[in-house]
Amino acid sequence: MGSPGLCCFDVAMHSDVFVYKQLRTHQQRSTQERRTFIADFSDDGDLCPCCFRTLHGIPASSFSRIRKARRDGDRDLVHGNKGTKKPRNETLLSEEWLKAYAARAGDFMPDCDQIHLPDFTWRSVWKRAVAELGRHRVISEKQFTDLAKTGTLSRIKIRRSKRFSKCEHCVRLKELIKQSVGQRKLFWKTQHDKHNTWQMRERKKQAKHVEKAVNPDTRHKYMVIEMDNMDNAKTALPRMPRPPKDLDGKDNLITHVTGVHVPGDENTPFRCYTWHDRFPTGSDTVITILLKVLSQIEGPLPPTLYLHMDNCWRENKNKYMLAISHLLVHTGVFKKVKMCFLPVGHTHNIVDQMFSRFSEAIKFATIMTVPELHRVCRQSYSARACKCGGQSAWRVMKNKIKKIENLGCQCPYVDVYFEHVDTMACWGPHLLEHLPKNIVGISKPRCFRVKRDTAGVVRHHYRQQLQNVFREGEHNENVGIDDPTDNMALPMEKDHRWMPHNREGYRLFQNAIPAQDNIFEVPLKIIDTMALRELAGTLSPYLNSEQRQWWSTRIDSFEKEDSRYISSVFLVRSRWRNSRNDPTRLCNSACGIEHNVVCLSGLCCNLFSCVVHFHQRNSTSGLLDLQCWLTTNNF
């Protein structure tokens, strides 16, 4: 029986058994032997090239490539394939999409190197990718799930239980989904998808701010500052991976870390400021660090500032932060300031990602002093000093992926800048006397815009969300979710408008602008130095000479500050009895300085600079309402 596909007469006369033996013999040859066998083929033989390839099972591409290499004089005949599997374009596109989706919708965990997605399952993430890219450009659901568990994508997680407080609406909607069945379950899933889409648009709006600050064409117009605080339980000193038994029950030296991200800064995009737990909780620390960052940035400042912070009313979202934004515009530092807040429970950003690397490094390090804390954290994280604004992307041509290109930033990495802060400015009482008493409704809005109106007066407007487009059918958190009849899917149309609508904004400083040359220092909280000395004595066997010197100097400075503070309180107490009805006269007699703010300590402080472009002058530490304080403490 003749073999089909063979044109040469001699070969065609052979049986299929002969052809099979030839194929089997060629397959048993080594790779190098196969190349040599193909290269030795001669056109003058009994077989034509087609029959030779068919008889021995040789692909046409391999046959042509090896014959061409032999004609060009290549005797080694080494193929160009190195054995690396090349992923398909659909795989590369799915990988890039998942990275971008995690960056714009995920929460960066501050205690581990993970990004938590808001979705329930990977199936919902895959469906979202199909909806955005198209089914023919995305891999299958099984391949997509396996891809999310490999390589650098393994840090992207979907967790059933969350270690941090989550969005109230997400939690309530998930509980309603678990408790419902049928059409009602489908309804709540739809509402959850709408809420997730809405919060993703909020993140996308903030990402546009960062893009404008990084883009070389627009960075001279816009500036972004993102601020957050790290959990102080991880940075308390001393820190040992295996603490000895004799340290149980000892009071640690609590140390706070405030992280700042300045996208587009070519020198130090990430900054961290450490400070001991000596200052009252409030906006004074945030304002002081904010102004310190502005004063340290080289070159002229852009006219527009975007402030990205979380929704903490005690530190960020209050009248003092709004007042300092007005003051920055009043003094001409910026022409416009925008305070932006993401929805509650969706505020984890790149600063939290930096904190997660700090946490992993601190967990396995022995840290005794603040300089060692700076060193360990600096070695655990580095960031690019971006000058080009490049980001990873893919190229789409004629509705088909032609080539995947890595357009990522190639700028060099720089270390995080660290600085320890020992003094804070007391901005709250300084601003309070110039603010109206009926400031309400600050906790609900998530965007404040401060700029001058047409008459040159600094005013602010507010908005319930960051995005400025009203989309019909998109969920809004201000609508109740207890009953489907509440039209939960319909957002409030006024949420995308600047309020007050079509009217002039609110003016904070009605009469006079607060002076910038009489800023008081925040009074320090009394610290138990006896407990710290006991802790230092217990640590002594584990400390070297430099570490012992640091602890001794630090505790001595605490005692000196506390003794000055306590002696000034007794000074005020002794003069209070003679000046009960005239606290201003008491302050002048105690300090020898004429000012309107009632002084608590009565002692002049060192030079303290905390406002950009403002002069350093002598200031006095103090608080308002001395009568209330003395009455509370039974003076």
Amino acid at 71: R
Local confidence band at 520 (pLDDT 50, 70, 90 cut-offs): confident
Average pLDDT for 36-45:
71
Amino acid at 503: R
Average pLDDT for 577-604:
36
Local confidence band at 52 (pLDDT 50, 70, 90 cut-offs): confident
Q: Residue 600: pLDDT above 70?
A: no
- Average pLDDT taken over every residue of the chain: 75
Q: Residue 367: pLDDT above 90?
A: yes
Local confidence band at 590 (pLDDT 50, 70, 90 cut-offs): very low
Burial class (CB in 10 A: 0-12, 13-18, 19+), 403: exposed
Residues in the chain: 635
Amino acid at 546: E
**DSSP label at 573?**
H
The pLDDT of residue 162 is 62
Residues of the chain with pLDDT > 90, as a percent, come to 26
293 in Cβ contact with 305 (< 8 Å): no
Local confidence band at 74 (pLDDT 50, 70, 90 cut-offs): low
589 in Cβ contact with 575 (< 8 Å): yes
Query: Rounded to whole angstroms, how far apart are CA atoms 270 and 4?
Result: 71
The pLDDT of residue 409 is 55
Q: Residue 368: pLDDT above 50?
A: yes
The pLDDT of residue 550 is 95
Amino acid at 326: H
The pLDDT of residue 262 is 93
> Is the Cα dihedral 550, 551, 557, 561 positive or negative?
positive
Query: Rounded to whole angstroms, how far apart are CA atoms 347 and 358?
Result: 19
> Among 43-47, 207-211, 225-229, where is mean pLDDT lowest?
43-47
Query: Rounded to whole angstroms, how far apart are CA atoms 485 and 569?
Result: 61
Query: Higher-confidence residue: 626 or 549?
Result: 549
Q: Which of 38, 88, 40, 28 is nearest to 65 (CA)?
A: 38
Most confident of 202-216, 463-477, 587-601: 202-216
Query: Higher-confidence residue: 2 or 611?
Result: 2
Structure tokens at 257: 């870390």
Q: What is the pLDDT of residues 379-413, one digit of tens each?
A: 988 776 665 554 433 333 333 333 333 444 566 77
323 in Cβ contact with 465 (< 8 Å): no
Residues of the chain with pLDDT > 70, as a percent, come to 71
Domain boundaries, the chain: 9-71, 89-198, 520-632
Average pLDDT for 287-313:
92
The pLDDT of residue 90 is 85
Average pLDDT for 473-495:
45
Most confident of 304-308, 531-535, 608-612: 304-308
Local confidence band at 225 (pLDDT 50, 70, 90 cut-offs): very high
Local confidence band at 371 (pLDDT 50, 70, 90 cut-offs): very high
Cis ω for the linkage preceding 436 (within 30 of 0): no
> Is the Cα dihedral 243, 247, 250, 255 positive or negative?
negative
Pairing of strands 222-229, 304-309: parallel
**Distances from the Cα of 255 to the Cα of 31, 352, 394, 417, 533, angstroms:** 64, 17, 44, 17, 17
Q: Is 244 helix (H, G, I), strand (E, B) or coil?
A: coil
Average pLDDT for 580-607:
34
The pLDDT of residue 267 is 83
Burial class (CB in 10 A: 0-12, 13-18, 19+), 614: middle
309 in Cβ contact with 319 (< 8 Å): no
Overall pTM surpassing 0.85 (yes/no): no
Q: Residue 245: pLDDT above 80?
A: yes
